[in-house]
A = this chain, B = another copy of it.
């Protein structure tokens, strides 16, 4: 971040049916704590204002009813223009096209890709897990380095071959776009981002308050081998 730029205040998170709870909750919990000492506004964005469930087609097939639903604050259509940071979780639900209704267009408008003119104040995009596959579909990652969930890596590659997919990485930073590996990796990424933007002291204080042991090395990723992504 340029030192002349003010600290971000307005965050958005993109929800869709079948999102992975921890992909969203890991980063958001750190921001919830940060918001006690730094004014932050969070917009929870979805296609409409109905609660968005983590449940997806594979849960239905398994005969389980183990889901959580989060209440959106805005639709993609009426999302505030002042969102500076956008968090995109992944999840099995993203594999069904109908669950991403409105997501791709929203990303293209906010970043200014896919022939769209940039609208709004967006400065950073952070994806967790297969959230990078969603972002890849929007064209925003074309020509950029990015990572994703290691168990799903071969599927992710197929979503867009113009992305320089990095198999062995806890997270990848390419300019102001940060992509993390699967699920829990989003927690390490948010602390790395907080360190860059808010400083090391703040990031470490938040992690210690969360009793979280950070993986500080973006190259430290045993899950790439574990899941055959390399």
Contact = CB atoms under 8 A, between A and B. Distances in A.
Contacts of A181: 211
B210 A213 contact: no
Nearest to A41: B65
Interface in A40-77: 40-42, 44, 51, 54, 58-59, 62-71
A20 interface: yes
B66 A32 contact: yes
Copies of this chain, complex-wide, total 2
B212 A183 contact: yes
Interface in A87-132: none
A38 B46 CA distance: 30
Residue from A62, A64, A187, A227 whose CB has the most chain B CB atoms within 10 Å? A64
A139 interface: no
A28 interface: yes
Interface residues of A, number: 54
A215 B214 CA distance: 12
A4 interface: no
Interface string A14-40: 000000111001101101101111111
Nearest to A181: B211
Interface string A156-200: 000000000000000000000000011111010000000000000
A146 interface: no
Nearest to A52: B71
A150 B44 CA distance: 31
9 contacts: A25-B68, A29-B183, A32-B67, A34-B66, A149-B211, A150-B211, A182-B211, A184-B213, A213-B215
Given A21-B25, A184-B210, 20 more contacts: A22-B210, A25-B26, A25-B29, A28-B66, A28-B68, A32-B66, A32-B67, A35-B59, A35-B62, A36-B62, A36-B64, A37-B62, A41-B66, A42-B67, A71-B71, A151-B209, A181-B211, A183-B210, A183-B212, A184-B187
